[in-house]
């Protein structure tokens, strides 16, 4: 989504309408399409000064095929409406839901990806009274999937009370999956192709997709087509004990190094200290514990399998306690990364409800915030030109340039804490004149941020990190923060495997 949601059609302010209070467990009953006001025929564009003349044009089909919904289905508002190619709408964040995140091989040991994401969707459906509604689409994914997870998101939708006519499909971009899913839904809403959709993600490392080893698999395939006894014996003779099983590997295919090993290299390059990492980790736990005590997450979480809050959270965490842990990544005395300042393997799922302002108004839902700008970047970590997890450092300045903003123009910053060292390396890079000039092509450093505005409700070091589910958690948290504040702007940043970074701006 380039500058999609900055160009805003004149949609009547819905402040005077009855809207759902998202701090409560239930919302106003959904309305049918019959009660929907017509879309404005002209658009009033609100623009910001841009620091560059670059622009990205979005296009949409000027016609659409109208299909009469089944009598038992409640169509979402103006789902089949045609739009002109020049109409680009704001994308509203209506709310989110997730199940508590759980450390691997614990509370969710018996739960599958489908179990967890279905529970997450059901919670969202109940919270926003979406029963029987045909939504534009549901987009989600998982990084670790079994063969049985074929068409996973669609199967999960069919497990819910959403109308079975709701389309759904899977995506995957490592840790950026959940956020990228939101971009896909948002783009279609912005272009008028759909009015409402759900984006999300799920992952389990407890129910790991352990499969037949490649050697055994090929031998069995050869056995399947064998015509004679001799051919069958020949196929079976190729089976090697070492080839019996294939399990997910904690390493980058191109380097063989784990994400933690890569992060340790980057931490060393940027001179990130153990003390600073432990301080950031302790702060994340303390902030999230406080948010739970204040009830911030009450309308963002659906209890699941006996959990009502993230079980990785340590309310009594301190830098002093974390300092006692031994390093698990890096080598020798220079090693600074521990299990305490790195995210653990985690199971969980999340999703967010996105819509046009018209849909929100017609269905009586409050708009928490808007998804306004997005950017995805990748770096060459294979050629050792950049650290594996440093792509957000490149994505953010590109996004800021298009938005006409400075790094300091944000009320809060939601930066995914894959490792404390990754967050600190990124922040240090933005402060570094040489990095910003030589690698980002900027005239001056982006500068520093107010650290008191960073991850104010805690982040991944406290909650845990089910790979594809982190994006949905962050979007829902950021939107609620802005809604409670009444206005503002939040920068969202997520690093991902494969040297990728996914970033966004959320505003109200």
* Interval 99-136: pLDDT, tens: 999 999 999 999 999 999 999 999 999 999 999 999 99
pLDDT at 25: 40
CA dihedral sign of residues 292, 295, 297, 301 = positive
Residues 154, 123 contacting (CB under 8 angstroms)? no
pLDDT at 216: 80
In terms of Cβ atoms closer than 10 Å to its own Cβ (0-12, 13-18, 19+), residue 52 is exposed
The overall average pLDDT reported for the chain is: 86
pLDDT at 76: 54
Residues 195, 355 contacting (CB under 8 angstroms)? yes
480: pLDDT strictly greater than 50: yes
Residues 82, 64 contacting (CB under 8 angstroms)? yes
* Integer Cα distance of 270 and 34 in angstroms: 59
Confidence (pTM): 0.82
Q: Which of 63, 80, 87 is nearest to 359 (CA)?
A: 80
8: pLDDT strictly greater than 50: no
* Integer Cα distance of 82 and 196 in angstroms: 15
Chain segment 34-49, per-residue pLDDT in tens: 333 333 333 333 344 4
* Integer Cα distance of 90 and 376 in angstroms: 20
Percent of the chain exceeding pLDDT 90 equals 74
Q: Which helix (H) or strand (E) holds 225?
A: helix 214-225
pLDDT at 249: 72
Is residue 353 classed as helix, strand or coil in its secondary structure?
Answer: strand
* Integer Cα distance of 231 and 435 in angstroms: 61
Chain segment 340-351, per-residue pLDDT in tens: 999 999 999 999
HEC per residue, 63-105: CCCCCCCCCCCEECCCCCCCCCCCCCCCEEEEEEEECCCEECC
Chain segment 310-326, per-residue pLDDT in tens: 999 999 999 999 999 99
Reading the block at residue 426, the tokens are 């990124």
Q: Which of 101, 108, 149, 157 is nearest to 130 (CA)?
A: 157
pLDDT at 34: 36
Residues serving a catalytic function are 175, 465, 495
Residues 473, 92 contacting (CB under 8 angstroms)? no
Confidence of residue 74 (pLDDT cuts 50, 70, 90): low
457: pLDDT strictly greater than 60: yes
Is residue 220 classed as helix, strand or coil in its secondary structure?
Answer: helix
* Integer Cα distance of 190 and 4 in angstroms: 6
Q: Which of 368, 304, 360 is nearest to 106 (CA)?
A: 304
Supply the Cα-derived Rg of the chain in whole angstroms: 24
What mean pLDDT do residues 187-200 have? 98
pLDDT at 64: 38
In terms of Cβ atoms closer than 10 Å to its own Cβ (0-12, 13-18, 19+), residue 445 is middle
21: pLDDT strictly greater than 50: no
Residue whose structure tokens are 């534009």? 136
20: pLDDT strictly greater than 60: no
Chain segment 210-262, per-residue pLDDT in tens: 777 888 888 888 888 989 999 888 888 888 877 777 777 778 999 999 999 99
pLDDT at 85: 56
3: pLDDT strictly greater than 50: no
pLDDT at 449: 98
């Amino acid at each position: 989504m380039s500058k999609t949601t900055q160009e805003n059609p004149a949609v009547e302010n819905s402040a005077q309408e009855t809207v759902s209070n998202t701090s409560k467990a239930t919302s106003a009953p959904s309305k049918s399409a019959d009660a929907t006001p017509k879309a404005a025929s002209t658009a009033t564009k609100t623009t910001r000064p841009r620091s560059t003349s670059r622009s990205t044009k979005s296009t949409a089909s000027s016609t659409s095929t109208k299909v009469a919904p089944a009598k038992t289905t409640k169509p979402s508002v103006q789902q089949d409406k045609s739009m002109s190619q020049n109409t680009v709408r704001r994308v509203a964040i209506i709310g989110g839901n997730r199940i508590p995140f759980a450390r691997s091989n614990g509370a969710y040991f018996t739960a599958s990806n489908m179990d967890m994401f279905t529970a997450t969707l059901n919670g969202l459906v109940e919270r926003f009274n979406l029963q029987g509604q045909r939504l534009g689409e549901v987009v989600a994914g998982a990084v670790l999937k079994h063969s049985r997870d074929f068409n996973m998101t669609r199967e999960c939708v069919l497990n819910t009370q959403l109308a079975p006519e709701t389309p759904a499909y899977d995506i995957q971009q490592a840790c950026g999956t959940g956020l990228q899913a939101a971009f896909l839904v948002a783009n279609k809403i912005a272009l008028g192709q759909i009015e409402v959709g759900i984006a999300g993600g799920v992952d389990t490392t407890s129910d790991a997709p352990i499969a037949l080893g490649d050697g055994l698999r090929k031998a069995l395939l050869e056995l399947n087509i064998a015509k004679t006894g001799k051919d069958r014996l020949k196929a079976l003779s190729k089976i090697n004990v070492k080839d019996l099983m294939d399990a997910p590997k904690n390493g980058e295919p191109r380097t063989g190094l784990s994400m933690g090993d890569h992060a340790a290299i980057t931490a060393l390059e940027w001179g990130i200290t153990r003390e600073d990492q432990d301080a950031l980790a302790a702060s994340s736990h303390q902030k999230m514990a406080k948010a739970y005590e204040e009830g911030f997450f009450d309308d963002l979480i659906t209890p699941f399998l006996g959990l009502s809050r993230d079980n990785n959270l340590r309310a009594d965490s301190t830098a002093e306690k974390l300092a006692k842990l031994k390093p698990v990544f890096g080598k020798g005395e220079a090693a600074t990364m521990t299990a305490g300042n790195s995210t653990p393997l985690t199971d969980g799922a999340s999703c967010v409800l996105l819509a046009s302002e018209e849909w929100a108004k017609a269905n009586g839902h409050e708009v928490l915030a808007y998804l306004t700008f997005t950017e995805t970047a990748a770096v060459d970590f294979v050629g050792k030109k950049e650290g594996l997890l440093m792509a957000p450092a490149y994505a953010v300045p590109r996004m800021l340039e298009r938005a006409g903003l400075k790094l300091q123009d944000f009320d809060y910053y939601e930066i995914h804490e894959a490792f404390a060292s990754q967050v600190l390396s990124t922040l240090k890079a933005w402060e570094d004149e040489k990095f910003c000039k030589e690698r980002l092509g900027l005239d001056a450093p982006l500068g520093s941020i107010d650290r008191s505005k960073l991850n104010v409700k805690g982040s991944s070091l406290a909650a845990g990190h089910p790979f594809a589910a982190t994006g949905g958690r962050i979007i829902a948290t950021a939107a609620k923060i802005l809604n409670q504040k009444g206005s503002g702007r939040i920068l969202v940043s997520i690093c991902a495997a494969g040297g990728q970074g996914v970033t966004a701006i959320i505003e109200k």
